[in-house]
């Protein structure tokens, strides 16, 4: 056989790569492409899993817990808002009746709230206790004047007495005595009347504020004051006496000569000046007569011809019935105006009809004009005066003139009736 024929008969061998289809890729490489993190298939699988987990029992339970937590937080916030914003200004349970509550030193909050509850001052003791603890209640010991219509916040301010309580304008007219002042203070819910009277006679307090005598009568300066409700009565006394000191020091500086004359001729100090000024305040109805009335009393004390140094001032006898009622028989049934029996009762040490000179102390609280009238009295020889009926007085140098003025007043009074 020839070489050419044998070569034609033999089949051709093809390349292995040429025979493999293009899409017949190795399985391992295809799986690697499908399982890559960023593949679309994997993302679809994850989304399906999330949807299945969120829609299942476990997803619903988690949502319910969050809703409960949110609701609880909202409820706590609402209660806190009520307790700290709305509750403090809510009206008290009563109608405005005065209530006395006495607190001891370092008294526990629970004991304080128990007293408030028994006094009818709080609607809900538990709610008030929670409010008091949240704001940090710090009570002041002593006798408190409270009202049963006070809001929780007002109640706390009064119990603490730190000057943040509601305040009252208190006007004390010239000539009022401490008993008059006490009634007004209680009527305006500033302090209890008896507590104030006790403070005006407290020996330790009088020593502290430099007032001689058995009370602060005469040194409680008449003016208008801005005072917190349920004030400490001792603080009120301090305030009024401080105002007196400020005014009187100025008067002394303006009338040094008159002050020196009173001390030189009569041996008077501040207390005697205030005592006579309180008498002038009670007797005078118009300002221009104050220095004249002061001169009458001073003339009686200084004039050697006026033998019995009785000042015969009715208001002094009346004041005696206020402070000595139980010791003066004639004061039984006293209704405010002195009778002849009250004037002449020797047991009434304030009567300037039976006792010579000044009464034991001031009978009221004089204002600036009456104090000034004693330091700078009119220059007269009058020894007597009697009311004329028109808020003014008739002044006389002799007893005969005085008796004629008295008769004239009685005649005119009789005609008017």
pLDDT digits (tens, 9 = 90+) for 63-111: 778 777 877 777 666 666 656 666 787 888 999 899 999 999 989 989 9
Model pLDDT for residues 341-393, shown as the tens digit of each residue: 999 999 999 999 999 999 999 999 999 999 999 999 999 999 999 998 788 99
User: Using CA atoms, how far apart are residues 377 and 417, in angstroms rounded to an integer?
Assistant: 36
Cβ atoms of residues 389 and 413 within 8 Å: yes
Mean pLDDT, all residues of the chain: 86
Cα angle 24, 30, 36 (rounded to 5 degrees) comes to 165
Evaluated on CA atoms 263, 267, 272, 277, the torsion sign reads negative
Nearest to 374 by CA among 275, 242, 241: 275
Cβ atoms of residues 165 and 144 within 8 Å: no
- Quickly count: other Cβ atoms within 10 Å of residue 233's Cβ: 25
- Residues paired with residue 396 on neighbouring β-strands, in sequence order: 384
For the chain, which ranges sit under pLDDT 50? 1-35
Residue 86 in 3-state DSSP? helix
Element (H, E) at 50: helix 40-54
Ramachandran angles phi, psi of 79, nearest 5°: -65, -40
User: Using CA atoms, how far apart are residues 359 and 214, in angstroms rounded to an integer?
Assistant: 13
pLDDT recorded at residue 66: 78
pLDDT recorded at residue 306: 94
pLDDT recorded at residue 220: 98
User: Using CA atoms, how far apart are residues 200 and 58, in angstroms rounded to an integer?
Assistant: 77
Joined tokens for residue 392: 């003014």
Give 146's contacts (C-beta < 8 A, 6+ positions apart): 98, 99, 100, 101, 119, 121, 155, 158, 159, 230
User: Using CA atoms, how far apart are residues 113 and 123, in angstroms rounded to an integer?
Assistant: 11
Cβ atoms of residues 409 and 394 within 8 Å: yes
HSE of 303, CA atoms in CB hemisphere, 13 A = 20
Model pLDDT for residues 336-348, shown as the tens digit of each residue: 899 999 999 999 9
Joined tokens for residue 230: 């349920």
User: Using CA atoms, how far apart are residues 241 and 198, in angstroms rounded to an integer?
Assistant: 15
Cβ atoms of residues 103 and 141 within 8 Å: yes
Domains of the chain: 70-164 (3.30.1490.480), 167-249 (3.30.1490), 267-416 (no CATH)
Cβ atoms of residues 363 and 350 within 8 Å: yes
Report CA-CA distances (Å) from 322 to 63, 111, 154, 259, 277.
79, 39, 36, 30, 19
Residue 63 in 3-state DSSP? helix
Evaluated on CA atoms 80, 84, 88, 90, the torsion sign reads negative
User: Using CA atoms, how far apart are residues 271 and 177, in angstroms rounded to an integer?
Assistant: 15
Element (H, E) at 1: none
- Residues paired with residue 171 on neighbouring β-strands, in sequence order: 224
**CA 282 from centroid of its chain's CA atoms:** 30
Cβ atoms of residues 369 and 292 within 8 Å: no
Residue 395 in 3-state DSSP? strand
pLDDT recorded at residue 29: 46
pLDDT recorded at residue 379: 97
């Amino acid at each position: 056989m020839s070489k050419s024929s044998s070569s034609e008969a033999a089949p051709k061998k093809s390349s292995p790569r040429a025979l493999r289809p293009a899409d017949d890729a190795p399985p391992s490489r295809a799986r690697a492409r499908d399982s890559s993190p960023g593949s679309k298939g994997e993302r679809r699988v994850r989304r399906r899993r999330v949807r299945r987990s969120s829609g299942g029992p476990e997803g619903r339970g988690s949502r319910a817990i969050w809703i409960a937590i949110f609701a609880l937080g909202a409820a706590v916030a609402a209660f806190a808002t009520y307790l700290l914003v709305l509750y403090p200004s809510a009206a008290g349970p009563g109608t405005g009746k005065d209530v006395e509550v006495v607190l001891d030193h370092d008294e526990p909050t629970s004991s304080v709230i128990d007293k408030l509850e028994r006094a009818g001052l709080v609607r809900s003791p538990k709610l008030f206790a929670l409010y008091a603890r949240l704001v940090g209640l710090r009570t002041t010991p002593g006798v408190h004047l409270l009202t049963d219509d006070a809001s929780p916040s007002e109640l706390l301010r009064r119990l603490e007495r730190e000057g943040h309580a509601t305040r009252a304008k208190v006007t004390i007219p010239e000539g009022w005595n401490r008993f008059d002042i006490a009634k007004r203070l209680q009527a305006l819910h500033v302090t209890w009347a008896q507590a104030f009277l006790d403070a005006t006679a407290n020996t330790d307090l009088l020593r502290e504020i430099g007032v001689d005598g058995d009370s602060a009568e005469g040194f409680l300066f008449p003016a208008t004051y801005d005072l917190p409700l349920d004030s400490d009565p001792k603080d009120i006394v301090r305030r009024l006496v401080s105002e007196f000191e400020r005014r009187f020091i100025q008067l002394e500086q303006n009338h040094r000569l008159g002050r020196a004359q009173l001390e030189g001729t009569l041996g008077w100090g501040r207390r005697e000046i205030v005592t006579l000024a309180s008498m002038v305040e009670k007797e005078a109805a118009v300002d221009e007569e104050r220095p004249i009335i002061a001169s009458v009393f001073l003339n009686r004390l200084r004039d050697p011809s006026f033998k019995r140094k009785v000042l015969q001032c009715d208001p002094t006898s009346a004041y005696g019935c206020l402070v000595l009622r139980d010791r003066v028989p004639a004061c039984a049934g006293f209704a405010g105006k002195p009778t002849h029996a009250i004037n002449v009762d020797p047991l009434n040490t304030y009567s300037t009809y039976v006792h010579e000179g000044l009464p034991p102390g001031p009978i009221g609280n004089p204002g600036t004009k009456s104090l000034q009238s004693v330091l700078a009295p009119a220059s007269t020889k009058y020894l007597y005066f009697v009311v004329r009926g028109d808020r003014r007085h008739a002044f006389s140098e002799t007893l005969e003139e005085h008796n004629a003025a008295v008769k004239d007043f009685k005649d005119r009074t009789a005609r008017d009736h």
